[in-house]
Amino acid sequence: MRHLVTVIICLFLSQPLMSAAQAGQPATIADLALYNGADREQMLAAGAKKEGKVVWYTALAGGSYKELAQAFQAKYGVPVEAYRGASRDLISKFLAEAQAKRFIMDVAESSPTLLMLMQALKFLQPFSNQFVNKLIPDARAEAGKGAVYYATVRESYMGFAYNKNKLPASAVPRDYDDLLKPALKGRMSFVTTDTGSRTVGSMLLTKGDEYLKRLRGQEITMHSVSGQALNDMIISGEVEASPTIFRNHALVAAEKKAPVVWVPMDIVPASAGSAGLSIQAPHPHAAVLFVDFLFSPDGQKILEAYDYGNPTKEYGFKRWYPEKGLSIQQLEKDMDRWERGLRELGRRQG
């Protein structure tokens, strides 16, 4: 992926980008995204109804993205066509469509990797609204003059989750060193998605390469599934424990009396789900309206109900943002190292 992204960045930066106005859309995405008149919502809603839908690429899992889509349609009468996938899947889909000049996406919501790539390729439209203007600086990718390229709409935190009916209390770890306990040998699993690689990245950051070599002796199994799917496997007892589980997935299940418990490790990798506008949005009114909705109290209320974190709040553990301060090329180099570490860590189970 790293080499493909580098080649495509060079390709796109050497070619002129077709503007929304050239695409024959009724109003430029720039005009709509930066408009701050009192009638903004009314004007966007009227235009969105004429456009007929909004196309949303999202890394949200479970029922959260469906509930957001349903709430938006109920409020504005505009259907949401959602494409859900892991960050790497969304990146692959975006790159394929960009190469083909086939513009489908209106709004992107994912870990910052996708948004960083879109920004590097000049595919993000800066926007502003009353909600993102109130976010802390760390949650905003500044575009100047009060606008942002993208901003954090929700956070997910990766940590250790276990089935409390399967794993004895004496084996529950308090930190990464405890993952080396003999009592955990053969009882842990990792996902092979970027959730797994970022967890490995946090281990390398805090413990180094020698730690990963020792962790290999714990007979870890690897599963080519999402973090949500592995959490379900923990709940069913098929898997006893994993350090690659999102806090919100475990908390939502625990609230429904599932036998899953989540605990933080030394540092907690944060997946800062960010939202941005495609500069090629086929449905510009609906796109801007939907981004506004995600950051609005209505959208945030739904995300909070699914135990997603907020960058302005403290949760009692140390967060680590893998993308912070890096260029897309620097991040890809780090991700290559994390993915190599993940591949060498355990045996694949499918």
Confidence check: pLDDT of 229 > 90: yes
In a domain, 311, yes or no: no
Domain count, the chain: 2
pLDDT tens track for 15-26:
444 444 344 344
Same domain, 297 and 257: no
- pLDDT, residue 328, reads 85
**């493909």: which residue's tokens?**
4
- Cβ neighbourhood burial of 321 (10 Å; 0-12, 13-18, 19+): middle
Specify whether 227 is located in the same domain as 116.
no
CATH number for position 118? 3.40.190.10
pLDDT digits (tens, 9 = 90+) for 156-165: 999 999 999 9
Question: Is 110 inside a domain boundary?
Answer: yes
pLDDT confidence of residue 25: 40
Q: Report the alpha-carbon distance of residue 18 to residue 31 in Å, rounded.
A: 16
Query: Cβ(149)–Cβ(213) under 8 Å?
Result: no
Answer yes or no: do 210 and 107 share one domain.
no
pLDDT of residue 329: 87
Of all residues in the chain, what percent carry a pLDDT higher than 90?
A: 80
Does residue 5 or residue 336 have the better pLDDT? 336
pLDDT at 40: 96
| Pair 160, 149 in one domain | no
- Given a cut of 90, is residue 343 above it in pLDDT? yes
Does residue 124 carry a pLDDT above 70?
yes
Based on DSSP, count helices (H) and strands (E) in the chain, helices before strands: 13, 13
Handedness of CA 298, 303, 306, 312 (dihedral sign): negative
Contact 186, 196 (CB under 8 A): no
Residues 71 and 96 in one domain: yes
pLDDT of res. 325: 84
Whether residue 246 sits in one domain with residue 143: no
pLDDT in tens, 34-74: 999 999 999 999 999 999 999 999 999 879 999 999 999 99
pTM of the model: 0.80
State the DSSP H helix or E strand holding residue 13, giving kind and residue range, or none if neither. Answer: helix 2-13
Strand 54-58 to strand 107-110: parallel, antiparallel, or no bridges (unpaired)?
parallel
Q: Is residue 312 part of a domain?
A: no
Residue 342 · residue 88 · CB < 8 Å: no
Q: Which domain holds residue 70?
A: 2-155+271-305
**pLDDT of 102-116, one tens digit each?**
999 999 999 898 999
pLDDT of residue 324: 86
Backbone φ, ψ for residue 101 (5° rounding)? 55, 40
- How far is Cα 24 from Cα 28, in angstroms, rounded to an integer? 9
Regarding whether 253 and 116 lie in a shared domain, the answer is: no
Residues 76 and 224 in one domain: no
Contact between residue 140 and residue 128 where contact means Cβ atoms under 8 Å apart? no
**pLDDT tens profile 171-203:** 999 999 999 999 999 999 999 988 999 999 999
Confidence of residue 236 (pLDDT cuts 50, 70, 90): very high
Residue 89 confidence (pLDDT) above 60: yes
- Residues 295 and 330 occupy one common structural domain: no
Residues 205 and 80 in one domain: no
Residues 127 and 209 in one domain: no
Q: Both 216 and 265 in a single domain? A: yes
Nearest-angstrom CA–CA distance, 198 and 3? 19
Euclidean distance between the first and the last CA atom of the chain, given in angstroms as a whole number: 21
The reported pLDDT for the residue numbered 12 is 53
